[in-house]
Chain A
Amino acid sequence: MPHSSDDDLVARLQAGDQSAYAQLVEENAGKIYRLALRMMGNETDAEDVLQETFLSAFRSIDRFEARSSLSTWLYRIASNAALMRLRRKEPEQVSVDEPLERDDGEMIPRQFFDFCCLPEDDLLREEARAEMMHAVEELPATLRSVFVLRDIEGLSTEETAEALDLSISAVKSRLMRARLRLREQLSAYFSHGPLISEAG
């Protein structure tokens, strides 16, 4: 799908206009850094992924064909860079051939503590937020990338599929598995965590 809002910028980028390169960085570096940080779990690796993403984008801008937006294209480069790094670090955790569908035994809910009624201030206090982000870091990378783009960065299912080169059904399946895993983790945390002991 052509993205006409990017047309002018793409033309300037492909003409080698330095101010266009700076504009691309200024408009996108923040979100690419956030994705990299969520994927890698530390600032050093996130910065490496950030730099690698823009270096790679600059090298290949001549081949950009506007089948997606520039933003989605950058997310795609960054996701690939992050997944490649994670595969090098933890090859057993990031399988290229992971099946799209698994036995849903892994998804069967086991935690039934209803934390919805807890005060919002408690649910979002610093310690709880740290636990939430730790839970994201514990997701397998293939689920984490979908969850971060779709639920944290707010991309649509279609944009997430484009960014990760996945089918729509694969995005939905991985998002569901990620959400169910996180729900389990948060339910366990809120049912046994310090909120309860403090309240009791």
Chain B
Amino acid sequence: MSASDQPHEHNQDSCRRYLSSLSEYADGTLSAELCEELEAHMAICENCRIVVNTLTRTVSLYRQIPAPKMPSAVKERLYKVLHLEAYIPPGPDAPDQPGQ
């Protein structure tokens, strides 16, 4: 039976108490002591292991989605609204990257 078939309410204290730590664990910012405790729990709780893995994967997938590019017409209208027509850059926009 796979983990997805097993009833696992995640309302047991042993699972619920780790919920608030999962996000920091995925970021690698959880304290060493709590990390060790969570990893020991994951070794015996398949559902918690799946939650941690899929949470980490979720974050990494979102970080890989290409950033939408601002249409050049939107950019031109912005410069006009701001009375900066003289500074509208020529040519197509360079693609923007997240975090820059």
A interface residues with partner B (beta carbon < 8 Å) = 18-19, 21-22, 25-26, 29-31, 33-34, 37, 43, 47, 50-51, 54-55, 58, 104, 107-116, 123-124, 129, 132-133, 136, 151-155, 172-173, 175-176, 179-180, 182-183, 186-187, 191
Contact = CB atoms under 8 A, between A and B. Distances in A.
A104 B16 contact: yes
Contact of B81 (A55, A132, A176): A55
A114 B81 contact: no
Contacts of B58: 179, 182-183, 186
Contacts of A183: 51, 54-55, 58
Contacts, number: 141
Contact of B61 (A33, A155, A175, A186): A186
A151 B67 contact: no
Given A30-B70, A47-B74, A58 B63 contact: no
B61 A123 contact: yes
B34 interface: no
A167 B85 CA distance: 39
A114 B78 contact: no
Contact of B78 (A50, A104, A153, A154): A50
B49 to A, nearest CB: 9
Given A34-B67, A132-B65, A112 B55 contact: no
Interface of B: 3-4, 6, 8-11, 16, 19-20, 22-24, 26, 47, 50-51, 53-55, 57-59, 61-65, 67-71, 74-75, 77-79, 81-82, 84, 86-87, 89, 93, 96, 98-100
Residue in B51, B53, B69, B77 whose Cβ sees the most chain A Cβ within 10 Å: B51
A116 B53 contact: yes
A58 B81 CA distance: 12
Given A21-B84, A116-B54, A132-B65, A172 B4 contact: no
A186 B65 contact: no
Given A124-B65, A152-B62, A179 B26 contact: yes
A124 B55 contact: no
Given A29-B75, A30-B70, A108-B16, A114 B50 contact: yes
B57 A115 contact: yes
A104 B19 contact: yes
A152 B65 contact: yes
A33 B67 CA distance: 10
Given A124-B64, A132-B61, A154-B99, A54 B10 contact: no
Given A33-B74, A114-B53, A55 B82 contact: yes
B54 A54 contact: no
Nearest to B11: A108
Contacts of A124: 61, 64-65
A132 B68 CA distance: 14
